[in-house]
Every structure is written in C-alpha cells, then in structure tokens.
Chains A and B, each alone.
Chain A
C-alpha cells in the first residue's frame, strides 16, 4: 500500500508532476520578467498540459507506431522513477540503495535518449537534424555532468544519494568545490536544453527539433518528463552542493535560488551552435571537473 502511494501520489507520481509544472511556471515567469514581459499566469503550464492531452495525436506516415507512441511514456516513466531516489522537499528518498546515484543519473539521461530516438524514428528532416543534435549534446555534457555529481560522492565516500545528502548536511560544498558546482549547474542547463544550449530545439533553424512531429499526448508527456527532470536535477544539485536540503522551506529556497541563477544565465545568453556546445564541454567543462576531482583526491590522500 505504502509503495503504491509512493509511486502514484507522493513523492513520485502526481506530486512531482505538480511540482514540475510549478517549477516550469517559475522558470517562465522569471524569464518573462527578466525580458521585460509579463509572463504566464500561475496555472498556465497546467492549462497547456490539459490542452495538449485533449488534442488529437497525429502519427505521421513512415514511423514505427509502437516506438512513436511508446517513447514519450518511457521518457516520463524514467524521469518519475528518478524522482523516487532523490530527497524531494527535503524528505528522505522513497527508495535508496548503494549506488543509486548512478541509476538516477542514468534515468535522467533516458529522457534525452528517448527524445533522440523519437526524432530519429520519424522521416521529418527537422526531427532528424534535431535528433542528431540532441544525441551529440548528450554525449558532450553527460560525462562532465556525471563527474560533477560524483565529486561530492567522493567526498562523502558513498555513491548512495541519501548518504551524500547526510554528509552534505549543513556543509556547503559550493565553497569547497566551486568548479564542480559550476559544471553541475551548467550541465543541468545542457540536460534541460535551456538556452544557450538549446541548439537541439532551435526554433529558428529546425522548428522544434526532435519533437517536431509530436503533437497532443506524446508532446505533453515529453514536456512533463522535462519538468520532472528539472525538479530532480535541481534537487540533486541543491542537495549536493548547497549544504543538503533539510526541510520543505529549505528545499524551496535552495532549488528556487538555483533556478533563478539558471534563468538569469538563460536570459543574457545567445544560443550556441552545436559545435560550440561540444567544444565548450570537452575543452572546459570536462577539464574543470577533472581538475576538481584531482584536487579532491590529492587532498584526501594528503589528509589520510
């Protein structure tokens, strides 16, 4: 019984979906304010969701039907499962086992993989280019982002999220590992395809990228998946680098602050070309986080 509630209502399921929509609204509203616009009303993401769900879903010719309809579901399921392993609202994760950090990061990548596959599945030319870019971007930010999350794990000496959070409690690793924090937050932006890393869905070039052919339910599910990913990603970074999340207020303040930083970066930046994105990650992102981990290891050995 408890596990059913955990899966469908809290912390995964409906709760995290609602939280995702709320964070989407905050994101959109903040960006609008920074861009001198008014921005949407608080229920707009929810209204968009209802509208998309109510719309007819068109399956284009020449696609694998099962994949086309199945991929959005898998993507959302992956993101929702990831939500089970993170300390949402500052509460203990619903499930926890040694090494669940790796599983969570993998589950978050599942969404991007599904989007890439969904784009490659259709015959649409914008989707194909978008899928190529999505996957290229995945390969560029994934390793640095993963390493940035592993750095706190190294300090804590465990790859279990609850363990790291317990270790990080009250300890702002942002101060001891600034490089890792920068890579983590920019990696999260890359993961969410937020500008300046929105080349995979650059509307002025390739319409909506990999999801161009999606309408109705499939599109709604992908969007929901992304919202959940936003919440999970923010929770992870806040818990690891901002001294853990202790209670709901702490959680909202820290993730909200992170989101504010991300939206601020979004607002002042121009979209990067895909080869600029890849260059940035492999030239600077990976290098920064490797330096960080090296310092960490040397420190640990020296201290021991």
Chain B
C-alpha cells in the first residue's frame, strides 16, 4: 500500500539539520541556511546563496550608460536610489563631471528618505521574526508616510528614478519641502516611540538583549559593515569616512552602540532614522539654488572608477571600467549583505534555534542584491556528468 519507508540520510552521520529557505516563512527572499541542532541549540550553520542570480553585471555590458541607470536601479527593491546614485557617481567621475550643488542635495535627501524607509521596513521584519506582530504592523503603517513622501517628490514609491547621469530628474519646490517637513515631524514622534519600545519592552528585550553578541574585534575580523558593524562599536560609515556629494557640507553624526547584541542593532537603526530626519531638515533648509543637471558626454572616456556609497545596509561599492564607447566594459557591483553573512554563521553557533530568524534578519539581508555567482557546495562530493548520464538519472528519478 505505502512505499517502503526510506531511512533519512543526513550527509554526515547523526546530525539533525533544520533547513531555513529557500522557501520558508522566515525569509521572504530565497537563501538557504542549514542549522545543525542538538535539541534547541544550534551547533553549526552553513549558508548557500545564489538562488536569485540575475546576471545583471553581464547585462550592463550590452546596454549603454543611460540604459544601465534604469537596469541598476532595479538591483534592489529597497535601496534602489543607492544603486542608481553609486553608478551615477562612478560614471560622473569617469567623465570628469560633477553634479550641480542642488542636484547633490536632492540626491542626499532622497537617499536619507530611503534610509528611513529601509530601516522602518527592517524594524517591522525583525519584530515579525520575534513574533511581535503588532510592532510589525505599526512600523509598516508609519512607513507609509515616508513612502508617500518619496512618491510626492518623485512620483514613484519604489524605484524613484531620481538620478540621471550628471544630476537629478526632479526639483523640490517649497510646497513639497513643506509637506516633507510635516511628514518628518510625524515620523520623528513615532520613531521616538519605537526607540522607547526597543529599549524598554520587557518581553522583546528578553528576546534581543544579550542575544548574538558580536564584539568589536569579531566584527572587524569578520568584515562586518554598515549598521551591523556600528552596533558592535565599529566606527564605519562611508558618509563620514569618505564623504561624497552633499555629505561633504552636511555631515551626519556617526551612530554606534557598544553592546553588539540584537538590541544594539535595533537601537542603531532606530537612532539612524532620527539622524536622517535631522539631516533632511537641515538640507531642506539650506537647499542650494541652481541647475539640476550638468552636461554629460555620450561617450565616456576610457578609464576605471570606483564609487562608494553608504546604503542603508552598509557600503555599496561600484567598479566601472570604460573603453571609451557609450557602453561600459565592466560594471562590478558589491552590495553590503555578502559581508555581513559571515557574521550570521559565526554568531549562530551556541544560540537557540528560536534566535536564528532574528540573527539572520539582524544583518538586514538582501539576497537578490548580493547574489553574484553560484558556488558549488561540498566540492569533495562533486563529480562530472555527461548530458546523457544526467538525462538517464532524471528518467530514473521521475519514473516512479
């Protein structure tokens, strides 16, 4: 009647592995994590990435510089502006053009609004992983405010398409600035409340205080970046270390926490929202007058350029190589998630299985952004098959 029960074989003996992903309620994006558990305690962790490799870098080589702007903006659905801006900065550097001051300020305003929306999204996701759905619903409701502001400025909620090579596409009128300030006032109040929640809610603290502590030395050794590193006391922020565009004149404050646990990661991000609000207010007050776009040549002179931008999750890095035509010879994109992935695997050991989703989300992972190439897992077991062997294997497997 039933099939004979097959013995479950784990790859290496007696391990009990909990798989999370590529399809799992904890992850809305595909990544595969295997947690070896002993009861509830995690003993080992491995990761496999690459489920959403899209070949974007290769695709850039068959499009011209302007088309690439739209392609690269779609690398990430959260920090879309970051990618378009980093790319524009690189191309502008190659062409020897600098965006006009007003355009620079508008770029920063959009980037900081984007940081607010990204961090609020993260707050909701992290709360959901902890099983605190009310905080999830509330923070996402309030996040609508900043989404509306972005729509007000750009007409779009996700891919704002603010950048053009050499400047920005839209201006901010005084009326719009007033609306943005009004929205920011609301957000500031809500944000203060969320800081209170993540610092004082006893049950939430039971899940995040002292959990997944990463020391500053560990953070540096594992190469953590962005808010994840800053929560461990690493003073690392591209906006401050290597200021670009309007950040040169409008310095953000460096937000760090020393504890290095999940609570610190919550606090760093919530406090960064506060700092972003301050920065946007300052910029709107001192918005420079002038042009929006500088003139760009169609063919970009041959050469190589590197541009770095502090994305909401950490440093975004672009390397652009031009061969003097209107098409780039190479665009290399490096997103922050990949650098923080090692911290997940290192922190996981010794913690409870219940902490895993939060540790994972604690770095604010963005899988489709970081998937650049596929690695072969467990290479010692790898063997090469011909097409026919593969075909026969397939027939055998699916015959029953």
Known A125-B16, A125-B18, A275-B40; contact A270-B132, beta-carbon cutoff 8 A? yes
Contacts of B352 in A (CB 8 A): 273, 275
Q: Given the complex, which residues of B lie within 8 Å of A126, measured CB to CB?
A: 18
Cα distance A198–B16 in the bound complex, in angstroms: 23
* A36 interface hit (Cβ, 8 Å): yes
A206 interface residue (CB < 8 Å to B): yes
Chain A contacts for B129, CB-based, 8 A: 204
The residue of chain B having its C-beta at the shortest distance from the C-beta of A128 within the complex is B16
**Which of B26, B39, B137, B207 is close to A273, meaning CB atoms less than 8 Å apart?**
B207
Stretch of B3-11, B179-187, B249-257 at the chain-chain interface: B3-11
Please name all residues of chain B whose beta carbon is closer than 8 Å to the beta carbon of A123 when the two chains form the complex.
8
Of A198, A207, A268, A272, the contact of B25 (CB 8 Å cutoff): A207
* A36-B137 contact in complex given A65-B2, A129-B18, A202-B354, C-beta closer than 8 Å: yes
A283: interface (CB < 8 Å): no
B141 touches A36 (CB 8 A): yes
Q: Does A199 sit at the interface, judged by CB under 8 A?
A: yes
A53 within 8 A of B: no
B268: shortest Cβ distance to chain A, in Å? 19
Given the interface contacts A36-B141, A202-B354, A205-B353, does A196 sit within 8 Å of B2 by beta carbon? Answer: no
Asked if A274 and B137 make an inter-chain contact with CB atoms under 8 angstroms apart, the answer reads no
CB closest residue in chain A, given B206: A276
Interface string of A116-152 (1 = CB under 8 A from B): 0000000101100100100000000000000000000
Q: How large is the interface on B (under 10, 10 to 19, 20 to 34, 35 or more residues)?
A: 35 or more
- A204 B16 Cβ-Cβ under 8 A: no
Closest B-chain residue to A34, C-beta based?
Answer: B134
Q: CB-CB < 8 A to B39: which residues of A?
A: 132
B301 within 8 A of A: no
Residue in contact with B203 in the complex, picked from A62, A65, A272, CB distance below 8 Å: A272
Of B24, B40, B131, the residue contacting A207 (CB under 8 A) is B24
* A203 interface residue (CB < 8 Å to B): yes
Query: Given A36-B138, A205-B353, A270-B207, A196–B6 Cβ distance below 8 Å?
Result: no
Q: Taking the complex as formed, is A56 at the interface, i.e. its CB lies under 8 A from any CB of chain B?
A: no
Q: Please, what's the 1-or-0 string for A262-290, where 1 marks a CB less than 8 Å from any CB in chain B?
A: 00000111111111100000000000000
Q: Indicate whether B243 reaches chain A with its CB closer than 8 angstroms.
A: no
Interface centre among B16, B37, B129, B353 (most CB of A within 10 A): B353
Q: Taking the complex as formed, is B220 at the interface, i.e. its CB lies under 8 A from any CB of chain A?
A: no
Query: Which residues on A sit within 8 Å (CB–CB) of B8?
Result: 123
A25 shortest CB reach to chain B, Å: 18
- A129 with B353: in contact, given A269-B132, A269-B203, A270-B201 (CB under 8 Å)? yes
Contact partners of A267 in chain B: CB under 8 A: 134
Are B133 and A35 interface neighbours, CB within 8 A? yes
Known contacts A62-B6, A269-B132, A273-B207, A204 near B357 by CB under 8 Å: yes
Complex Cα–Cα for A203 and B354 (A): 10
**CB of B15 to closest CB in A, whole Å:** 11
Q: Which residues of B contact A203 (CB under 8 A)?
A: 25-26
Cβ contact within 8 Å between A195 and B131: yes
Find out whether the CB atom of B40 lies under 8 angstroms from the CB atom of A198: no
Nearest B residue to A125 by beta-carbon distance?
Answer: B18
* Cβ contact within 8 Å between A61 and B3: yes
> Of residues 158 to 215 in B, which have CB atoms within 8 Å of A's CB atoms?
201, 203-204, 206-207
CB proximity of B361 to chain A, nearest CB, Å:
9
Residues of A close to B128: CB separation below 8 A: 204
A61 partner residues in chain B, CB cutoff 8 A: 2-3, 5-6
Which residues of B approach A to under 8 Å, CB–CB?
Answer: 1-3, 5-6, 8, 16-19, 24-26, 37, 39-40, 127-134, 137-138, 141, 201, 203-204, 206-207, 352-357
Can you report 17 residue pairs joining A to B where beta carbons are below 8 Å apart? A34-B134, A35-B137, A36-B137, A61-B5, A62-B5, A125-B18, A126-B18, A129-B40, A196-B131, A196-B203, A202-B131, A205-B353, A207-B24, A207-B25, A271-B207, A273-B40, A275-B40
Extra pairs beyond A123-B8, A125-B17, A205-B354 (19, CB < 8 Å): A34-B134, A36-B137, A61-B2, A61-B3, A62-B5, A65-B1, A125-B18, A126-B18, A129-B18, A195-B131, A196-B131, A199-B354, A206-B353, A269-B203, A270-B130, A270-B206, A271-B354, A273-B40, A275-B352
What 7 A-B pairs have minimum CB-CB distances, sorted nearest first? A271-B131, A204-B26, A270-B132, A35-B137, A273-B354, A204-B357, A270-B203
